[in-house]
Amino acid sequence: MGRGDGRGRLVSPDGADDTGTRILHVDMDAFYAAVEVMDDPSLRGLPLIIGAPDGRSVVSSASYEARRYGVRAAMPVSQAMRLCPSAKIVVPHFERYRAVSSQVMTIFESITPLVEPLSVDEAFLDVQGVRRLWGSPGQIARLIRERVVAEVGISCSVGVAATKHVAKMASTISKPDGMLIVAAADTLDFLAPRSVRTMWGVGPKASDALEARGIRTIGDIRDSPQDMLDRAVGSALGARIAQLARGEDARAVETERVEKSVGHEETFEVDVSDREFLRAELLRLADRVAVRLRKASWECATVAIKIRFDDFTTLSRSQTLAEPTSVGQRIGEAAQTLYESIDRRDPVRLVGVRAEKLRPAGGSAFALWDDDEHWRKVEGALDDARARFGTATITRARHVGRGDGRDAVRHPKDHGVD
């Protein structure tokens, strides 16, 4: 399947068996850090932390030199600097990352029309239909790696396999700057010794539950009774991981990216204990989410919130609505209800509201009445006013003149449809 190339990389050799494969998972190596090094070569070889320099921010990404010290994404920058005091903090340049991502995706799309981006730095490709043009899946993987380096200036790792799940695992194992081919006939042997923690979609809690029952490898999953898996992680996930452990994954590469959620978050420079202020913030964020939904002609069936406390503990709660909506008042009320369901009263550093399970607006069955009719009209009028006079001039009365100074210390983090 793969071997070291003398430089510490895991690279399948020329002519490696790629029989039965069709899926590539391509993942840029430490993408944010790589772009920063490309733009400023003096950073090459340094441990880099991509994030804001203030102590309350979190790590967006890190170079491999910093990762060797245990620095990871989503870790507080202050903790990352304790682990790696020599690291250099680099403020992220998201517009630049998106521009480079566009270059990379253009390369993928020049190879095959079947490209499914997962994020700015990774994508699945189905290359079955372009073999006559470019060669076998393994040859196509090598071509992509060469073109990304030559045309963009950064490196990537590629997994080649018969299924999405195995291709993504293979690319992860081969990082950085590697390539691993798993022929269809080798799938079970490839999976068997791998830790349950390496499975795509199996999180730390599920892994802990499996390991507590002595299920430590994917081979162990395959050998375990289904009722034991169901007791450990629930029937839905239990059935899913049993299929994946057997190498079964029928998911196709989806070329049309369907919006899954829209959200906004707010990080405070000063921890906030005022619950009424936090309730008002949730409503304000819900209004912003609703505006995004209406502009895109979507409604949401589920509302979720995220609360991060001063000790960085993060809690999430979600609620399915009786009827899908794009009304900020309804989304805000659901967000506030979810917040009240959380017992902790510790100071809060971040709040977020997210609309999930999106669907086209107006798709619900005809109703005899509309409980949101009043607010729908109000928010429609506000949309019109914002279009004429700008977003900064229109807000709810409760958000004006609070006089507590917190508006001056917000650190907004806007998240679009993803």
Phi, psi of 282 (to 5 degrees): -60, -40
Looking at this protein, which amino acid is placed at residue 67?
Answer: R
Give residue 88's Cα distance to chain centre. Answer: 25
Residue count of the chain: 418
Looking at this protein, which amino acid is placed at residue 175?
Answer: K
Contact residues for 317 (Cβ-Cβ < 8 A; gap 6+)? 304, 305, 338, 339, 341, 342
Q: What is the DSSP letter of 65?
A: H
- Listing DSSP states for 134-199 in one string gives H-SHHHHHHHHHHHIIIIIS--EEEEEESSHHHHHHHHHHH-SS-EEE--GGGHHHHHTTSBGGGS
Given the structure tokens 């566009």, which residue do they identify? 102
| Helices 226-233 & 235-245 angle (0-180, nearest 10) | 130
Which run of H or of E encompasses 270? strand 261-272
Looking at this protein, which amino acid is placed at residue 154?
Answer: I
Question: In the structure encoding, which two tokens stand for residue 417, read together?
Answer: 């449809």
Given the structure tokens 């009320």, which residue do they identify? 333
Q: How far apart are CA 252 and CA 265, in angstroms?
A: 32
Judged on CB neighbours under 10 Å (0-12, 13-18, 19+), 211 is middle
Q: How far apart are CA 400 and CA 213, in angstroms?
A: 55
Nearest CA among 356, 338, 367 for reference residue 300: 356
Q: How far apart are CA 23 and CA 241, in angstroms?
A: 20
User: What distance separates the 2 farthest-apart alpha carbons in the chain?
Assistant: 71
Q: How far apart are CA 239 and CA 258, in angstroms?
A: 25
| Helices 204-212 & 226-233 angle (0-180, nearest 10) | 130
Q: What angle do CA 263, 264, 265 make, to 5 degrees?
A: 130
What Å distances lie between residue 167 and 23, 79, 304, CA to CA? Answer: 7, 33, 31
The residues annotated as belonging to the active site are: 122
